[in-house]
């Protein structure tokens, strides 16, 4: 069985930082990325897959009270014996809370309404079953956020087959799936160059990471996230399992390129959250998956439709993205157009909605 891990990075207190060190709340990042304000339409639920850890409702209530946003409705769904179990694993708890708080706050910022969050807890052996359960859930989630994964070369064929069947079922049900591209650069923590799975699946939107510097509501700069000696960098590269999908016609080579899009992930420009009763600043591409999942849910509310496989639509109108052409993730540099460090770049929410409404 592949070892699957959560993709989060905590800011190390007292660690040597470069000239920047700041933090944001998810609604601030949503504003910087111009998430559209959508006040009409049917609210959409957001599914989140968790393979460990848990959340405390009191922490969620406290967090949203401080933000001045409506607190989300969070439901727990048990798959294969998985359950909400906070306190046993601080890293897993950090992942669960990051996912919930980022997705819910970004959605509420855009809609003014409480987010509907369905958290599917499963053991690692039940990863594919959790995705299928989300796709078939009565709340009909518009989107599913995944912040767990492992180097693609570690996955066995039966595991990949089960996951791909689950993603196909999700897309057929109208549920768009987003996954973190990894936090260990172009190597994904292995020797050589490796993409991360499930982000490398052609049926998933892969979410890479950036370093975001902003002043007020204005972005000053943004580059591929790479902390160098501090150890974190956005995942990205090329699959060894999956051929290049039709929507990546302009991508070099013959294999699936990762990521598709990016957003703020650097823990030194990370997200203020509450975990196990304590405020923390957390980053990682695991923050980008729920952030962009919230955007997809907002777009679904605005357009009145669920998208399922969304990549084809995104690659057709790259003008809806702000290109990132600075930085690298190790082996790959950010450059003009799609690249295996930041993908198409950062989606501009209002532009993306306008493109979908054409």
Which tokens is 9 given?
């990075």
Q: Which residue among 27, 95, 152, 260 is the active-site one?
A: 95
Catalytic-residue membership of 99: yes
Give, in degrees to the nearest 5, the angle at Cα 188 between 230 and 214: 50
Give, in degrees to the nearest 5, the angle at Cα 283 between 282 and 289: 120
Q: What is the DSSP letter of 241?
A: E
Tell me phi and psi for residue 328, to 5 degrees: -155, 170
Cβ contact 290:103 at 8 Å: yes
Q: Which residue among 23, 108, 262, 286 is the active-site one?
A: 286
Cβ contact 310:179 at 8 Å: no
Q: Which residue among 27, 59, 99, 339 is the active-site one?
A: 99
What's the burial of 3, exposed, middle or buried (CB within 10 Å: 0-12/13-18/19+)? exposed
> Which single residue is written with the structure tokens 């504003």?
31
Question: Over the Cα atoms of the chain, what is R_g?
Answer: 18
Catalytic-residue membership of 286: yes
Catalytic-residue membership of 250: no
Residues serving a catalytic function are 95, 99, 286
């Amino acid at each position: 069985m592949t070892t699957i891990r959560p993709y989060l990075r905590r800011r190390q207190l007292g660690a040597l930082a470069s000239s920047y060190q700041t933090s944001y709340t998810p609604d601030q990042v949503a504003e910087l990325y111009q998430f559209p304000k959508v006040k009409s339409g049917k609210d959409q639920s957001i599914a989140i897959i968790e393979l460990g850890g848990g959340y405390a409702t009191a922490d969620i209530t406290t967090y949203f009270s401080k933000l001045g946003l409506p607190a989300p409705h969070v439901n727990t769904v048990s798959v294969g014996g998985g359950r909400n179990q906070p306190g046993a694993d601080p890293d897993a708890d950090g992942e669960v809370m990051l996912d919930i708080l980022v997705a819910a706050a970004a959605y509420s910022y855009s809609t003014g309404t409480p987010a509907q969050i369905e958290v599917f807890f499963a053991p690692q052996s039940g990863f594919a079953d959790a995705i299928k359960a989300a796709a078939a859930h009565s709340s009909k989630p518009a989107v599913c956020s995944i912040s767990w994964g492992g180097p693609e070369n570690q996955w066995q064929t039966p595991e990949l087959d089960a996951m791909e069947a689950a993603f196909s079922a999700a897309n057929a049900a109208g549920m768009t799936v987003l996954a973190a591209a990894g936090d260990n650069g172009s190597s994904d923590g292995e020797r050589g160059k490796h993409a991360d799975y499930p982000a490398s699946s052609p049926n998933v939107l892969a979410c890479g990471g950036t370093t975001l510097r902003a002043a007020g509501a204005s972005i000053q700069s943004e580059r591929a996230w790479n902390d160098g000696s501090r150890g974190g960098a956005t995942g990205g590269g090329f699959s060894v399992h999956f051929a290049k999908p039709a929507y990546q016609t302009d991508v070099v080579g013959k294999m699936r390129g990762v990521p598709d899009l990016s957003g703020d992930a650097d823990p030194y420009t990370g997200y203020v959250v509450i975990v196990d009763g304590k405020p923390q600043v957390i980053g990682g591409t695991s923050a980008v998956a729920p952030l962009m999942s919230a955007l997809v849910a907002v777009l679904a509310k605005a357009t009145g439709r669920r998208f399922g496989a969304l990549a084809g639509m995104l690659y057709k109108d790259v003008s809806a993205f702000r290109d990132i052409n600075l930085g690298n993730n190790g082996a790959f540099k950010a450059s003009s157009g799609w690249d295996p460090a930041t993908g198409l770049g950062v989606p501009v929410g209002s532009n993306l909605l306008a493109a979908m409404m054409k």
